[in-house]
Structure 1
Amino acid sequence: MAWRIGLTGGIGSGKSTVLEMLREMGAAAIDADAISRAVTAPGGAAVPAIAAHFGAGFIDASGALDRARMRELAYSQPASRKELEAIIHPLVGAEVQRQEAAAEAAGMPCIVYDIPLLVESGRWRAKLHRVLVVDCEPETQVARVVTRSALEPDAVRAIIAAQAPRALRLAAADLVICNQALTLDALRSQVAQVAKTFGLN
């Protein structure tokens, strides 16, 4: 039976970097965010239902979900986020189950689920042996996201405000990696220590 580890953290925390390190250490990685992006990409399984529910204006010229327009709608009309999730989540769940089964069949010692909404959803905890949170100061999150994207600091702060509060994530954690002012080597060392506790080298 594989260890099932839920990995979460706010935007800009370094969660994706930690996931990749765990993958290199022998974990099967299931990235719920990547699956969500795939189902809303051109030709994605969620696109027809999104167009039917929200209108063709929410699909961009490439045939993908217009994320910027949907983000604006979600902030102005919070109920629309739930409506979008009702379309996307069942499709993501089915693909997560498929990848789980493949990892189990391959005899992987550990499955790491990268779940942005782990704390908010409430339904994940019962599936997991441990919850691993990647944490840093909010202003560090802002600086990192501004550096890697075209977003303004206030836009990043709005995204952080819409995510689970930092204190709630930390309260849900069994394990915490503090990714504040760490070099990549220092972060990798922390990840390796944590990984040993669930059967990875």
Structure 2
Amino acid sequence: MFIVGLTGGIATGKSLVTSILRENGVSVIDADTIARKVVEPGQSAWSKIRKEFGDGVFYSNGELNREALGNIVFQDVDKRKKLNQITHPEIYKEMLFAATKCFFSGEKFIVMDLPLLYETGAMLKYLHKVIVVDCEKECQLARLMARGQGMSESAALQRINAQMPLEEKCERANFVINNSGSEEETRQQVEGILSVLQKSRAYWRLRLLFLGVIVSILFILRALIW
């Protein structure tokens, strides 16, 4: 099994791309979904966030107020780094565990949706290919403001500028999806990339490598026993 990374900028439309991937039978491991899981009440990251940022970023029922926390970390680089140090190890651990389960279920390849793939660099060594979802700046800004329930333009730009520029991400990608147009145009691009990935022989190379490692371990164990 090989792993394909999916990234882009905030509000570029990765959710549409992942929905199309799933419609085509591809398993997608979503970092944002796992990020919500690791900060649920009682989790290790939840406790660390409460200690670091205080009760003001939590609702009365103990759930994390993501909007309140976002308003803090997007205005302070050091606090954003601290939050990432708390949550990212837990997120990556869960993602790799999910990927391992996909491997043993016989998946040919999976996609990991990683919004901060290039910013952190932590998962790059595990990826065979990278897809970047791009869109026009005006489109990205409008989508983010509409999603933010009254988010101001300055606040939206602050969140966009907190990430690596899309141009740089596109330059480093193996595939780029322009999501500025219609859903059908995006679908055609996604399915074109899927056609390329499905023809890849990397799956067999990695399977044989894994089999070789297992055989080597068995020979070592046999030698130790006898």
TM-score when scaled to structure 1? 0.91
Tell me which protein shows more helix as a share of its residues: 2
Q: Say if 1:47 and 1:59, in contact at 8 Å, map to a contact too.
A: no
Matched, 1:20 2:19: yes
Distance in 1 between residues matched to 2:33 and 2:44, nearest whole Å: 14
Tell me the equivalent position of 1:196.
Answer: 195
Structure 1 residue 146, shift from structure 2 partner = 2.3
Which ranges in structure 2 are unaligned for 5 or more consecutive residues?
200-226
Secondary structure in structure 1 of the residue aligned to 2:130: strand
Bigger drift between 172-181 and 38-47 goes to: 38-47
Distance in 2 between residues matched to 1:71 and 1:170, nearest whole Å: 26
Tell me the equivalent position of 2:65.
Answer: 66
Q: Deviations 1:27-72 (Å, cap 9, x if unpaired)? A: 1111011111222234444211111222222222231222233223
Q: Deviations 1:135-163 (Å, cap 9, x if unpaired)? A: 01111011122233312222211111111
Tell me the equivalent position of 1:128.
Answer: 127
Distance in 2 between residues matched to 1:196 and 1:13, nearest whole Å: 23
The code of the aligned residue for 1:67 comes to R
Bigger drift between 122-131 and 43-52 goes to: 43-52
Secondary structure in structure 2 of the residue aligned to 1:26: coil
Tell me the equivalent position of 1:92.
Answer: 91
Bigger drift between 83-92 and 150-159 goes to: 150-159
Q: Say if 2:41 and 2:62, in contact at 8 Å, map to a contact too.
A: yes
Instruction: Give 1 or 2 for the bigger CA radius of gyration.
Output: 2
Tell me the equivalent position of 2:100.
Answer: 101
| Pairing of 1:163-178 with structure 2 (within 5 A) | 163-178=163-178
Which ranges in structure 1 are unaligned for 5 or more consecutive residues?
none
Structure 1 residue 84, shift from structure 2 partner = 1.1
Tell me the equivalent position of 2:152.
Answer: 152
Tell me the equivalent position of 1:39.
Answer: 38
TM-score when scaled to structure 2? 0.82
Distance in 2 between residues matched to 1:51 and 1:174, nearest whole Å: 39
Secondary structure in structure 1 of the residue aligned to 2:74: helix
Distance in 2 between residues matched to 1:58 and 1:177, nearest whole Å: 35
Bigger drift between 148-157 and 118-127 goes to: 148-157
Q: Deviations 1:158-185 (Å, cap 9, x if unpaired)? A: 111111111221121110011112x222
The count of residues paired between Structure 1 and Structure 2 equals 198
Distance in 2 between residues matched to 1:41 and 1:115, nearest whole Å: 20
| Pairing of 1:112-123 with structure 2 (within 5 A) | 112-123=111-122
Tell me the equivalent position of 2:4.
Answer: 5
Q: What percent identity do the matched residue pairs reach?
A: 36
